Structure 1
Amino acid sequence: MLDRLPMILSAVLILLTLTFIVAYVSIDEETETTWEHHESVEAAGWNPDQLIQARNYYESINSTALMVIYQGKILLSWGDVTSNTNAHSIRKSFLSALYGIEIEQGTFSLDDSLRDFEIEEEPPLSGLEMRAQLEHLMSSTSGVYLPAGEESWNMRQARPARGTRIPGSYYYYNNWDFNVLGTIYNQETNRDLFEDFTERIAEPLGMEDFNLGNTQYKFENRRSLHPSYLFRMSARDFARFGQLYLQKGVWDNEQIVPEDWVELSTQPHAEVTSNNIFDYGYLWWSAIGGIYEELGMFSAVGRYGQSIEVIPEMDLVFVHRVDSNHHSFSMARDSVNDLQRLQLLQLILDGKKSE
């Protein structure tokens, strides 16, 4: 028996190592959830060794949570996936979904203009600016170049001079467009976009952490009459929203967001000359080149490293979070840039075994 002890210990060590690898690359914390889990990454057709490389890279940058949903089940869940933190510009894709519902019902038309909506601003809009249509606001091509709430320094520096572009002719990532869409939605529906999101999307999807208390209008009247509409949401509820779009707007056999709108809004509608990976859709980013275009990827992207990547050709949703609410967060040091996020995504995609 003693002469077999080294062999037995070696076998135990291998088993423990394999168990650690599976745990390390898959689930950080066993929290109660209605999401189903894959039995293991290997059983789901993924290479644990490659996913360890991805995990090590994740640990080396400033990510605070990550989820990968593959074939409708959790493949990877790292970090704190349950805390509701600032969604930043992911909020815009949430609003796009609500507009899709209302456009199908005839409340809006994409060629409705700011004049039709009698939009006011201080200083007042010019006749040219009032010609901007709903589709221009959604594709960030309105040509209205005025201060807006929640603008970053880079956005302010990049803003073109007022009156230099015809509506629909030029892309500039414009919080004025996005915030006015919130005003128009509430004004024309005579409802509240936060309440509608909660009742029409969050509750049907069974979001586990989000509630109406995780929303806020932020008024910055010295910049604009139109407030920002802010969301806080967890990584696992981000994943539900991404899965809804992966399923073409269907959840539990119910069409939550019109399928035609999911298709239309995630296609490119504005060329982004400064970006060789994405063009802009209707409050979504659409991959335009290389492997990501081949995979049909479209994304909701927010400041500091927030993202929901939907990859139809792999039946996969990738969610990345950076908690900018944390007391120790520093904009300069703790954000994850687009290249880092996409490098992490690529490391994970490389882990899929050939079939």
Structure 2
Amino acid sequence: MTLQFQDAIDFVCAHETSWSRENLDNFGIHKADPPPWNQLLGPIHPRGGVSGVIHVSGRKVCEWGEPQRADLTFSIAKTYLAMLAGVACDTGLLKDIHQPVHLQVPGIGFEDTHNAQVTWLHLLQQTSEWEGSCFGIPDQVDRYRHLQYQATPATGVKGEARPLQRPGSYWEYNDVRINQLALALLHLFRRPLPEVFKERIAQPCGLSDNWKWEGYANSWVDIDGLRMQSVPGGTHWGGGMSISSVDQALIGQMLLNKGRVGSRQVLSADWVQKLQEPCNIAPWYGMLVWLNTQRDISQAASDSSYFCIGAGTSFVWTDPEKELVAVVRWTEGSQINGFCERVCEALA
């Protein structure tokens, strides 16, 4: 079956990211931040080469590279935070995603007049406009940030003090606000998020024990007298999720199956659907997933496709129309559509 997808595999392998495999000076995205925030706060480690896995109709049909290797996955960890929010909703721990965050987790930076308007949904859709610092990094670092996958034009200079809008009225990709969401979820669960992820996502999906989710040296907090590390939704300043292509494909398959693995409902079908619902002011984005509704990510992939994308570039492509889950690690982000085109041709 691998031969069927060999052209797609050869394509991404021919477009390996320029990032150093040894994680030297050109590895990571913190370098683009204004000083003094252009430094690492958590661990990173060397990466492997281009690797990946493809599932079709619930079956793994091919893999390449080192698919069992646990590599940093950067912002794909954001989607894992959205899954944990789903666990909280499904179990009744998170009462209402439309409620202001401070009503359930007071005392961590959501109380002032502006931030008191921020809801869980705002954080999950990156429309929160939350203002403040999380573990010493101000949200301003990622103001005016622009990614190639978003439909809005670039304006301003990253890190400048863009005037804030009313929460819910402006979309911006901002890792500090994502880290604030992770901190809020930690206080909501009152357990380390990697423990919850292992129990509620990793083990039910059949993941290996080869993944790890790490925080920063300064991201430890005390909850109920216990010292816990808050983990980030990416590796912008180090830390984050290291996970294999094989394990990422298993998570993607669970989502494709509407939250089910075998006879077990890991996430409710309702929550999986919510992940894919377009944000009303950013229709290219759902709840911490990128949507292909306007074919902005790939002209070849169906418009029902959604993507988890991490810097580097790694991505998980889930295409319900094609019953497809594809994971690619360490290719150039500009080549996502080229890979999708070749996979679609192989499936035709």
TM-score (norm 1): 0.72
Q: 2:83 aligns with which of 75, 78, 97?
A: 97
1:61 aligns with 2:1: no
Match of 1:280 in 2: 285
Match of 1:237 in 2: 247
Distance in 2, Cα, partners of 1:144 & 1:175: 11
Residue pair 2:285, 2:291 contacting (<8 A) in 1 also = yes
Q: How many residues align?
A: 282
Match of 2:116 in 1: 130
State the structure with bigger RCO (CA 8 A, min sep 6), 1 or 2: 2
Higher helix share: 1
Q: CA RMSD in A?
A: 2.7
Q: Map residues 238-257 of structure 1 onto 2, 5 A cutoff.
A: 238-257=248-267
Q: 1:218 aligns with which of 192, 210, 216?
A: 216
Residue pair 2:169, 2:281 contacting (<8 A) in 1 also = no
Match of 1:166 in 2: 166
After TM superposition, the structure 1 stretch with the greater mean CA deviation from structure 2, 255-264 or 201-210, is 201-210
Q: Percent identity?
A: 22
After TM superposition, the structure 1 stretch with the greater mean CA deviation from structure 2, 161-170 or 238-247, is 161-170
Over 3 Å counting, the alpha-carbon distance change for 1:340 and 1:201 in structure 2 is same
1:78 aligns with 2:64: yes
Note the C-alpha offset of 1:145.
4.4
Match of 2:333 in 1: 338
Deviations 1:318-351 (A, max 9, x none): 10112xxxxxxxxxxxxx3332122112211111
Distance in 2, Cα, partners of 1:178 & 1:101: 17
Match of 1:312 in 2: 320
Match of 1:120 in 2: 108
Over 3 Å counting, the alpha-carbon distance change for 1:318 and 1:262 in structure 2 is same
Residue pair 1:145, 1:163 contacting (<8 A) in 2 also = no
Distance in 2, Cα, partners of 1:294 & 1:61: 23
Over 3 Å counting, the alpha-carbon distance change for 1:246 and 1:132 in structure 2 is same
Note the C-alpha offset of 1:303.
0.8
Over 3 Å counting, the alpha-carbon distance change for 1:238 and 1:264 in structure 2 is same
Over 3 Å counting, the alpha-carbon distance change for 1:303 and 1:154 in structure 2 is farther
Note the C-alpha offset of 1:200.
1.0
Q: For residue 60 of structure 1, what is the amino acid of its counterpart?
A: A
Distance in 2, Cα, partners of 1:261 & 1:107: 14
After TM superposition, the structure 1 stretch with the greater mean CA deviation from structure 2, 63-72 or 251-260, is 63-72
Residue pair 1:67, 1:81 contacting (<8 A) in 2 also = yes
SS class of match (1:279): coil
TM-score (norm 2): 0.73
Residue pair 1:88, 1:303 contacting (<8 A) in 2 also = yes
Distance in 2, Cα, partners of 1:134 & 1:244: 23
Over 3 Å counting, the alpha-carbon distance change for 1:303 and 1:80 in structure 2 is same
Match of 1:15 in 2: none
Residue pair 2:289, 2:306 contacting (<8 A) in 1 also = yes
Over 3 Å counting, the alpha-carbon distance change for 1:147 and 1:259 in structure 2 is same
Over 3 Å counting, the alpha-carbon distance change for 1:343 and 1:183 in structure 2 is same
SS class of match (1:351): helix
Over 3 Å counting, the alpha-carbon distance change for 1:349 and 1:200 in structure 2 is same
SS class of match (1:120): coil
Distance in 1, Cα, partners of 2:93 & 2:334: 39
SS class of match (2:102): coil
Distance in 2, Cα, partners of 1:118 & 1:317: 39
Distance in 2, Cα, partners of 1:215 & 1:135: 23
1:259 aligns with 2:259: no
Residue pair 1:84, 1:234 contacting (<8 A) in 2 also = yes
Consecutive unaligned residues in structure 2, runs of 5 or more: 17-48, 147-156, 220-228, 234-239
Note the C-alpha offset of 1:137.
0.5
